[in-house]
Structure 1
């Protein structure tokens, strides 16, 4: 028997897991408004973490407020880091995503016992979790297991198999083993954890070689689960196959640059690392007169990591004739003297209505701003409506009008704010990373 009133263990990862923790860590958490009801829509949350860390066992993803709106909420653990996304020659790639699919199978078989409708499942996730959702939708995976998806800041973390093999070789050479199941089974998890970030220094020194030079673990385009990034409609005839909401935050990269020493940072180097030319950097400068080097670095990084992939996913959905919706989370955080802006991850506390969670404390501050509640209520209403009906309450995105929801107080509608950046990326080597 298991005490279901408390979270289980996180999956193995540095900082959150220790030898002796419960090995049965691939668990789900369920919130239901009323276990005696039936036919309720279901939201299944995929957490982010650069395919490297994080867990569903945190109050950051407390589903109580969403459940109170008449939704059954499920959060889940999946393997991360080398265990989940490292290349192993005789094991499936994307094992973390296979864990997600296994959890969806459990939801399909069991969610009716919690009042949920197994045929009305909507996926929702952020960052790496959002990327996984976009990838599963585009690949047409898991027929019958979910109907639509909400991708909050999906990233460009789809890498070719040869990159994954190269990263794995760096790991296994340090471990002194071959990249096989049998060899790695003899290595303690904490030993793998100690070296799984070793490739970062090598990748940072060869930025033009890698799709995501600061992230050693990514979703692998292995030709089986994923055959292309979700926005690569040139290689995928069907495009995004289900209804989708894609969203980004205005200042995505400030989460990563606010504490960084950028005195030696070269925006051109950042651009080159993500496949952009010197011409593109000049276009960024011309389009943003007077921009500082630090702000240009953050802008290019925001576009490269999340803002462009979010737009590309919406474009792919619209091009496939599906109902695709786009939003921009533009509420500026007061934390750190306003230095974070509307940074990566800031939309999570608003999605879950968790203003006093650990994540909110870091991104918003110890005090709950008076405008938190109305914006959170509006976002929650839109996402639960989408889960229920497929309509979040604002116009569909199409490549002509390019309408987006702007999450601020009060919420508004506007045309796509990324048009200038999109023109810069159009035709560049980084336009459709594969």
Structure 2
């Protein structure tokens, strides 16, 4: 019995064969032969779609907490019509329930949208890495549908990777950064198979947002990812990378919730859902760990990529400054009001007091005089604005900009943008908040959670801006030119995406100056 035949829900078929059902060309289900076997997809709005193709073996049983292993081949034709089950999730936004209701443990699958499946098309390829603070994330969410982007003449790939403690817990006896290793395995699958779907393996662009943007930054620094992509896009890159001691200490607290030690041997038989729940339990009380864990405890960040000396030997900024990935063309950017969404979720929009602002400045502003420098640079800012600025800068804005600056200084080419268009949702109160770029870049303005930012009926202005951003991303994937000049430390020109787009000097110069000498080290264990 083949792997595909024995796996529940794999829908491997025999009698119809690779040709599939008969019908006029263009209406027949698309069939593609991959290195692992033949898959049959569907067609949606003129685009061939393949879902749930395994790129690695299910990381369960003997493979729990192991580096990803290549998926076994199958015989016959595998139906590729449904997304694979998501990996275990944290409880944020009900994602744990979505994962719990899924059938099967084949968490590591890819999905492909192609306007022209076939080995001769040689189209640019965009590989999406979703965010979710490294604790949630699944490729089957409607906001990540790749169809609209693919209609710009590119092949779009999305995939699942292990998140939370399954993917990033620092456990004795397990490799660090398993979630990042999953991403490398998915990119390896793309390199080996994408030509059959109409893609050019020499023109692969990896792009991601938030933790996905942080993953893109990590991939730029990882030797095992070298050669797997030609271009990279980091959108609102999450700037947290842990020292091994911090990661191990947090993992120990999570394992202790289950009465276990933080070792692969102790945890390998634990129900993944219980382990995810243990991570949630620690997250709910992270503030009490602040004297030991520092800023991640204040922001409830229990996992992040670990600078372990093996999978990830340096932070992305260290690696890029040293010339790593100099030949990779880079596109990076952030939204203007990154923090606003989180402030709203916390119920603090318009409610931040002076004590909360002062505490945020003390915790997150760089250096011993960082708080004073913020107050000097923004003399008219009230508590709400100061709170928002320092949170936005620490977690997303300045780490993202520094990628471009480090890359450019080392001789690489980088383009920078800032999304300054205010989301119409919630009466415009969210501004240009974190996550607003996702529906605009992927073109899914009317579906999924990010559509709440756009409003019930997307306006012509939103549609036009989305079209502009999709064109920029796909042009960059095709030839490295998004449509505006490369960034340099003289003029600092960036693209501003707004109702009236413009190229201008980087608008967050005061924040840039405050963070100019900050090294963005791996976050340490304090005591």
TM-score by length of 2: 0.78
Matched, 1:30 2:141: no
Alignment of 1:279-428 (within 5 A): 279-427=369-517
CA distance, structure 1, for counterparts of residue 148 and residue 222 of structure 2: 32
Matched, 1:185 2:268: yes
Matched, 1:44 2:134: no
Deviations 1:329-368 (A, max 9, x none): 1110111121110000101111011110112332112121
Deviation at 1:230, TM superposition (A): 1.0
Q: Is the 8 A contact 2:321 2:410 kept in 1?
A: no
Deviation at 1:202, TM superposition (A): 5.1
Matched, 1:18 2:100: yes
Deviations 1:14-48 (A, max 9, x none): 23211772111211110000113421110000000
Deviations 1:386-406 (A, max 9, x none): 111111111011111111111
Q: Is the 8 A contact 1:163 1:210 kept in 2?
A: no
CA distance, structure 1, for counterparts of residue 368 and residue 202 of structure 2: 49
Q: Is the 8 A contact 2:168 2:178 kept in 1?
A: yes
Task: Quote the residue 2:64 is aligned against.
Answer: none
Deviation at 1:247, TM superposition (A): 0.6
Are residues 272 and 433 of structure 1, via their aligned partners in 2, closer, same or farther at CA, if it must alter by over 3 Å? farther
Q: Is the 8 A contact 2:188 2:228 kept in 1?
A: yes
Deviation at 1:290, TM superposition (A): 2.8
Matched, 1:138 2:213: no
Matched, 1:210 2:286: no
Task: Quote the residue 1:4 is aligned against.
Answer: 80
> Does the residue aligned with 1:104 lie in a helix, a strand or coil?
helix
Which residue, out of 247, 253, 268, partners 2:339?
253
Deviation at 1:212, TM superposition (A): 2.5
> Does the residue aligned with 1:404 lie in a helix, a strand or coil?
strand
Deviation at 1:188, TM superposition (A): 1.0
Bigger Cα displacement from structure 2, 76-85 vs 29-38: 29-38
CA distance, structure 2, for counterparts of residue 284 and residue 11 of structure 1: 41
Deviation at 1:191, TM superposition (A): 1.3
Task: Quote the residue 1:90 is aligned against.
Answer: 173
Q: Is the 8 A contact 1:268 1:278 kept in 2?
A: no
Gaps of 5+ in 2: 1-11, 13-77, 90-95
Q: Is the 8 A contact 1:203 1:210 kept in 2?
A: no
> Does the residue aligned with 2:188 lie in a helix, a strand or coil?
helix
Deviation at 1:433, TM superposition (A): 5.0
Which residue, out of 186, 194, 197, partners 1:103?
186
Q: Which has the larger radius of gyration?
A: 2
Are residues 305 and 123 of structure 1, via their aligned partners in 2, closer, same or farther at CA, if it must alter by over 3 Å? same
Are residues 432 and 183 of structure 1, via their aligned partners in 2, closer, same or farther at CA, if it must alter by over 3 Å? closer
Deviations 1:202-222 (A, max 9, x none): 542344643533200101110
CA distance, structure 2, for counterparts of residue 341 and residue 326 of structure 1: 20
User: How many residues were matched structurally?
Assistant: 432
Bigger Cα displacement from structure 2, 143-152 vs 358-367: 358-367
Alignment of 1:120-159 (within 5 A): 120-159=203-242
CA distance, structure 2, for counterparts of residue 38 and residue 393 of structure 1: 24
Deviations 1:275-318 (A, max 9, x none): 53573223323332332212211111111110001111010110
Q: Is the 8 A contact 1:119 1:144 kept in 2?
A: no
> Does the residue aligned with 1:359 lie in a helix, a strand or coil?
coil
Q: Is the 8 A contact 1:240 1:320 kept in 2?
A: no
CA distance, structure 1, for counterparts of residue 325 and residue 499 of structure 2: 31
TM-score by length of 1: 0.94
Task: Quote the residue 2:317 is aligned against.
Answer: 231
Task: Quote the residue 1:219 is aligned against.
Answer: 305
CA distance, structure 1, for counterparts of residue 412 and residue 171 of structure 2: 36
Q: Aligned-residue CA RMSD in angstroms?
A: 1.9
Which residue, out of 143, 147, 151, partners 1:68?
151
Q: Is the 8 A contact 1:325 1:396 kept in 2?
A: yes
Gaps of 5+ in 1: none
